Structure 1
Amino acid sequence: MKKVTKIKETNNRLQKKLKLRVAAYARVSTDNTEQLISLEAQKVHYEAYIKANPDWEFVGIYFDEGISGTKKENRTELLRLISDCENKKIDFVITKSISRFARNTIDCLEIVRKLTDLGVFIYFEKENINTQSMESELMLTILSSLAENESISISENNKWSIQKRFRNGTYKLSYPPYGYDYIDGQIVVNKKQAEVVKRIFTDALAGKGTQKIAQELNDEGVRTKKGGQWRGSTIRGILRNEKYTGDVILQKTYTDDNFTRRTNKGEKDQFLIENNHEAIISHEEFKAVNLAIEQRGKEKGIKSGNSKYLNRYPLSGKIQCSECGSTFKRRIHGTKNNKYIAWCCSKHITNIEECSMIYIREDSIHQGFVTMINKLIFSHKVVLRPLLQKLKLMNYSDNLIRVQEIESKMEKNAEQLQVLINLMTKGYLEPALFNKQNNELRSEAEKLKDQKEALYRFINGGMAKITELERLIKYVSKSKNIESFNKEVFEQFVEKIVAFSPTEIGFSLKCGLLLKERMER
């Protein structure tokens, strides 16, 4: 007798469920017509691309328009995409490139890791990277760092306007120091705080140490401008601040090509504005106090401008807290028979409520560095060398062409100005018309000059990173795996360490890369 088996309808449903639910993400960074046309083209492309695959189910397209890609918090559609992934609505995401997805390395890796943990993977079309098949995060880290470099020009544009305001004296302090307030756009003395400032200078001139002054103010319940506790470093900052004399020195610090804030020791121009606002301290008293501080420093063997412990340990001054931005201090932890070295956030040490970042063991940092270097030694041929080629080809020729175009405009501007002067000299122009056109041409010349300088800084900054990357490649290509922390190698290639958590840090290399490593506690 024949045997008949019924095939239930649920099999077809199961087959449908096995289809990959696919979504696309697209973004343009401005809201002009050309960019919005590009966004519409991407939407049409991705919808057709996903529906053409019989194994895929089209979920939708998530797109942000007119929004910068530097921070994920500013992109509502990206956040909605992540939320839908968390709610099990999406299995796979397609996007044009890493630079369209995220221009911030940390955000990019955080999103990739988060979605990977959810079982959702991302395909980057331009780079041909599928996060499901990646053996490690190193390639993605480096490519996203490269994308982040494209944002340098945005920073340079901001610097143009600031430099211009430095030169013409119209720059306004972003935050007036303790003792002053902003009222109707002007720096005005806060009389109550000014009395504290005068007391600080008087005590310092009388020989009191900065820590002693800070302790007395805290004991009396006097609060800083932000309502916090006084510290010796805060008092030193007040005693060194020329703004209390009514003068202002602009550009005492600057941001280098690696986005690291540095003290200006002559690398950049500085601008002195005298009598900018009402003084609290006379020039004579300010000078006397600072001479006394320098003298006491010489007696203790401390040079002005240097930290007492700056070069004592390889990690000193190198670790930065991602939560509050403070540097880490070295501490000895553990019991009498089981001591170990740890690095702690200085703000967390002072006030645990202001920063929750707890300590990181030094041996964990050392091991993280060893792991990071060994990864580079193992993969430099497939990762670092292609990156070097991309950096060398990365629009430097385009920028040089732009420099030539600007120089041509500057020459034309100079010729027009000369013609204008000749016409005025011969009496063919009215003074009012001459002044109007003369001001316009000179303003245009100043703008072109700023643009040219910014382009040169961008090109030079990129070349500096290429040089550092070549040095790194030369080292890793000739080295075998290292087994322990090497101080010389660390100082040669690492700019700083960013502490994200007690189990995760990032090594910011001098070539511009930020490589994250997980550690055990």
Structure 2
Amino acid sequence: MARSKSAPSELPVAYSYIRFSTPDQGAGDSIRRQESLRDDWCARNGVRLVETLRDYGISAFKGRHRADDRAALGRFLSLVKAGTVKPGSYLVVEQFDRLSREQIRPALTLLLNLIEAGVRVVQLMPVEKVYGEDVEPMALMMAIMELSRGHSESMAKSGRGGLAWANKRKQATQKVLTRIVPAWCKIAGEKIVLDEPKAEVVRRIYNMALGGRGVPTIAKTLNIERVAPLSGRSKRWAQSSISYILCNRAVIGEYQPHTHHGRERREPDGPPVTGYYPAVLTEEMFNAVRMAMSRRNRKGSGRGDRLLSIFSGLLYDARNGETLHVLNNTVNGRRISPYESSRGLPGYKWVSFPADTFEAAVLSKFREIDAREITGNRQDPTAGAAKRLSEIERRLISIKEQLVSGDEDVGPVMDALRNLEAERKAAADQLRTARQEAASTLVNAWEDCQSLADLLATSPDPADTRARLRAAVHRVVKQVYCLFVAQAKTRIAAVQVWFEGEESHRDYLIVHRSGTGNRVAEWFVRSLVLPTSTAGIDLRKREDVALLEPILESLNLATNE
């Protein structure tokens, strides 16, 4: 019986890993050198190269190259874990600092996990060595030394770079740190100056936002008027560009340095540098716009309303506290309606009210209000936050002086310093919010509200005036609680308007009679005075509403008196 020939054994397979931290290194000799060393080792050892893993422009200092599956090494480690990369395979690297530049614990864990999975790690320089399951203790010690050296080098580079940038930041108000500037600025010689035509576009965007225009409307307006985008790369305004400009503190002159490694996410590096860029507008204007936008987002935007509803997002049903909605497409015109009640749920009473009458009546009463009666003599809302931030900064200076003197144990002092830095950041954020609140002054908002209410009926652009009026109303009004009662063709509304700032309100009675036959619809509004208790009626309280509702139902409204 003839003996069968044995099949030739397959060559062992190898994966090559080539990495460098910055894209600029790709223009040098790094790739050719790593590939040449790899090919020479595979040829001498009879190993078949099946794939080259490439991480170009990715740092190994923070570990993203191994933790992120979008990186080549991260994908390879996932394949090792899944068993796709078979035990006995080789991973070839030029030096261990290509594999990792992390601290020794995660770097060594990476190496040992590969060995444990049966992958033989090949180091080509400075000494050629294969690390497998039979690795000797002395060789492992050499690996630890190499991994530690890579981390130390990266730490030194990071420190030098950080010191260089720290020194640049100290000189930020005297010299230009980078040639990259906002689109509304340009560099003239060694100074950053405004590109005035573009800066004027930025000012207009902020004025439109403060006037109640939303981001989509601003972008649409600029495109219709063929205003050139700030960036020459784009032909049309995008909503994302408008949003970026409206939240970018560079418009008030701030520059925020960042740190990043390769393609890793940028992170803020220290506090912003004030006065670095020439300011396009004042911080008060910036804060007022940010506050107005946040309130519009919080209280609803009225999307879906064919006619922008001035009080949309502020209205509540006094019976149960649910939100009232303004509906356009009804047989009887625009109506204010409780949504949950319209679904016929038990315990809910559905009564609607004409939206046009409601808006006209309340706005007519707003014209009579003296703003000082509503806003009162408010204390500076930023005083407490500013005092707290000042105290924290004083304590920070004291702790830093202790570090310099060397009289205290460094460990506890550093812990206290880190805690105070966190407190300082929180206090600075609180102060910024307080300044935003203060910038959007109620007195100015009241003036806008009253003047726009007068202009609404005769405005040549009623849609624009309505949008600006809505923005002004949302700056001065916090909530509007409504109790609607029906009497045949008559609708009665008890309305309680709560204002921002002081805990103050105004109460109104609105009566609307529907038109029938030859009689046209009519309405009237009065200030509501009900001496049912010394404290008055609070429509936010269910018990007060229960007292008021039967009184409204029993009213004789044969006349307007």
Highest CA radius of gyration, 1 or 2?
A: 2
TM band (smaller chain): 0.3 to 0.5
Tell me the TM-score normalised to structure 2 length. Answer: 0.31
